Copies of this chain bind each other. A is one copy, B any other.
């Protein structure tokens, strides 16, 4: 019998994707945790879906035997719900930015609001399994990484660690995202006529995902330039990353670094030297695809990293973390 897993914020795009993945998961079963802010919608089918529902309360989590809860909610809601669900004995995987940074000060600086549950920073584990797999396994509170940082860190960190990237020469991450990354709340900025046949940059140099990249990659802010941009499509993130190698290196040599790092990883895929992924390659998957182009003569290098922002960038990675905490096969429900 499958374990019940609660999802708060199931009407949002990440939450709905988590429900979809859990519905096909061999060992888990979704329970929709109803919250006052849920917006309606959905097909008016004569035969209603049989997905379980319960209130988003500690009591319901206890009564329904819910082992783990995914919070696909805004940070302020996550800060409110997390202590309640932890108190009810559930593992919490939070998809918001509430617990990604490590201090209330950094949170205030980047999120422009006060943190209301700073006592939880200590036990929150940043759930990027490729780097924190062992901590995730024993965690009670997992902070699921942001979409942009997931694609950036998986591409950048191995190169910094291997010492082949020259940080002082600057690292540029030109990031492009589909519109679902902005959430489901109606807004002029994400309305169809404003987005279609358009392309726009936002939060240049000041995006709140920047500190997550610095934290994990080992870069310093002065060396890292990040731009977020909106592509007229539903889902997907592609990041074009520019840097200099400390010594002349071919694409194949740089790929060798990635191959060593990710040889055993089920969700990182590498491309032949000189080839890079596009968004179709990762659409509706939990993969992060990475490709390298380099010019050894000038040490210029371009790495392209692509994910589905609702997959490896949100709900997929949350299920990957969930599998780890529950002792299930890491890829269950995700291939």
Instruction: Give the CA-CA distance A277 to B46 in the complex, in Å.
Output: 12
The reply to whether A191 and B190 contact each other, CB–CB distance below 8 Å, is: yes
Name the residue on B nearest A45 (C-beta): B269
Please pick, from B172, B259, B272, B295, the residue contacting A44 in the complex, using a CB distance under 8 A. Answer: B272
Q: Which of A238-283 contact B (CB under 8 A)?
A: 238, 240, 242, 244, 255, 259, 269-272, 275-281, 283
The reply to whether B186 and A188 contact each other, CB–CB distance below 8 Å, is: yes
A272 vs chain B, min Cβ distance (A): 4
A58 vs chain B, min Cβ distance (A): 30
- A201-239 contact mask (Cβ, 8 Å, vs B): 1 or 0: 100110000000000000001100101010111111010
The reply to whether A234 and B196 contact each other, CB–CB distance below 8 Å, is: yes
- A169-207 contact mask (Cβ, 8 Å, vs B): 1 or 0: 110101010111000101110111111111111001100
Instruction: Give the CA-CA distance A293 to B206 in the complex, in Å.
Output: 10
Most buried by B among A187, A193, A259, A277: A193
The reply to whether A279 and B45 contact each other, CB–CB distance below 8 Å, is: no
Please pick, from B13, B188, B275, the residue contacting A39 in the complex, using a CB distance under 8 A. Answer: B188
Please pick, from B45, B176, B234, B298, the residue contacting A222 in the complex, using a CB distance under 8 A. Answer: B298
Contacts of A43 in B (CB 8 A): 269, 271, 275, 277-278, 281, 289
Known: A46-B272, A188-B184, A289-B43. A234 touches B197 (CB 8 A): yes
Name the residue on B nearest A168 (C-beta): B169
Known: A174-B174, A192-B191, A302-B205. A231 touches B232 (CB 8 A): yes
Known: A205-B302, A240-B227. A199 touches B222 (CB 8 A): no
Instruction: Give the CA-CA distance A40 to B270 in the complex, in Å.
Output: 19
Known: A192-B179, A225-B242. A46 touches B197 (CB 8 A): no
A209 vs chain B, min Cβ distance (A): 16
Instruction: Give the CA-CA distance A169 to B180 in the complex, in Å.
Output: 35
Most buried by B among A41, A43, A227, A298: A43
The reply to whether A179 and B205 contact each other, CB–CB distance below 8 Å, is: no
Contacts of A233 in B (CB 8 A): 196-199, 232
Instruction: Give the CA-CA distance A169 to B47 in the complex, in Å.
Output: 32
Contacts of A278 in B (CB 8 A): 43, 198-201
The reply to whether A302 and B225 contact each other, CB–CB distance below 8 Å, is: yes
The reply to whether B204 and A302 contact each other, CB–CB distance below 8 Å, is: yes
Name the residue on B nearest A188 (C-beta): B186
A282 vs chain B, min Cβ distance (A): 9
Instruction: Give the CA-CA distance A176 to B232 in the complex, in Å.
Output: 12
Instruction: Give the CA-CA distance A118 to B168 in the complex, in Å.
Output: 44
The reply to whether A238 and B188 contact each other, CB–CB distance below 8 Å, is: no
Instruction: Give the CA-CA distance A82 to B280 in the complex, in Å.
Output: 32
The reply to whether A46 and B270 contact each other, CB–CB distance below 8 Å, is: yes
Q: For the complex of A and B, list the 6 residue pairs with the smallest distance between their C-beta atoms, beginning with the closest.
A: A200-B278, A44-B275, A174-B174, A222-B298, A204-B293, A192-B195
Listed A/B pairs (15) with beta-carbon separation below 8 Å? A43-B275, A43-B277, A44-B272, A47-B270, A169-B169, A169-B170, A172-B174, A174-B240, A196-B232, A198-B236, A199-B231, A204-B276, A205-B300, A225-B302, A231-B231
